[in-house]
Every structure is written in C-alpha cells, then in structure tokens.
Amino acid sequence: MSTHVNDKNQPTMINVGAKQVTRRVARVQAIVKLPRQVLTIFKGGELRSRKGPVFQTAILAGIMAAKKTSGLIPLCHPIAIEDCTIDIRLNKKKEAVIECRVEAHHKTGVEMEAFCGATVAALTLYDMCKGLSHDIVIKDIRLLEKTGGKSDFPSPRPSPGGRGSKSLPLSPRERVGVRAR
C-alpha cells in the first residue's frame, strides 16, 4: 500500500509530527545527451548560447526548483533547505551529467527536492539549446543517495577508470564542467 493513501484510499500527506529531526541528504543525477550541434558551443567548461551561459543558468534554475518542490509535488512537505549544490560536467560520451545534492535538518527526506533540482536543470539546458537542435535527450534521472531517514539508499556513482564500487570524487582531469553552491 502506498504511504500517501489513507484508509479510505484517498491521497494524504504523511504525518511526520512524531518523527525526529535528523540531517537529511539526497543526491540525484540526470544525464542529457547533447548532439553535435550543441557541442560546438562548448568552450571553457561552459555551453555559451545566444540566451547566455547554459550551465550557469541551469544551475540557478535547478536550485530555484529544489526550493519550490512542495509547490510542485502535491504531497511533499515544505522543507527549509540548508544547502543545495548542482554540478554539471561532460562525461566521456560528451553527455551533460547533472548532479543535484540537497541537505536539510528535517523530519522527512529531501530526495524530491534533489529530483526537482536535477530535472529542472536538465530542462533548462534543453530550453537554452533547443535553437541549435531538438535532438537533445534527457535520460537516466535517478536517485544516487539518500541518507538520514529510516531507510538510507546508497548507490555509488559509476567510478571512472574502474576504481571499484565506492563513490569517489572526480579528479580534476575527469571534471570538465562547473559547480555552484
């Protein structure tokens, strides 16, 4: 049975009143496949379109979306986000890898905030580059990590160079994109 349905089978918000406040962290990743026409504007770690710096604009849009999640997803609790970071880089396949990390001390998790942040960043990237090509594909939006609740979900990111299954930070050589806090 869904946690968002009451005994009358009607949608309901989960009552978190009796839960303890804990440190909640979630990381979500979205992949955006960029066609050749879009990659021609990639210079100095940034896509520069006629609309402006694409990655920087996508980062701001993603952060704004994470802060407004409860207004977008009907049964989400409003959460005072303490930290939201969005990282955008190109992987070896020349796809934009967007990772949104959200942190808060709260009675409920922040994974939906991280999902909104990563997804809106991806949508913004599409919007700013669609004048160059409509072959942009947003794919593989997934939870990487969720901690602080009764059921943590660690899912290590694929490690470049086969360094094992642990989630390791990218080296400066592996990083191509930008990061904002």
H helices of the chain, in order, are 36-39, 54-67, 69-72, 111-129
Active site includes 152?
no
* Cα within 13 Å of Cα(94), Cβ side: 12
Residues in the chain, overall count: 181
- Find the farthest-apart pair of alpha carbons in the chain and give their distance in angstroms, rounded: 56
C-beta neighbour count of 85 within 10 angstroms = 18
Assign 64 to helix, strand or coil.
helix
Q: What is d(CA 179, CA 170) in angstroms, rounded to the nearest whole number?
A: 12
Catalytic member of 7, 83, 87, 127: 127
Residues noted as catalytic = 127
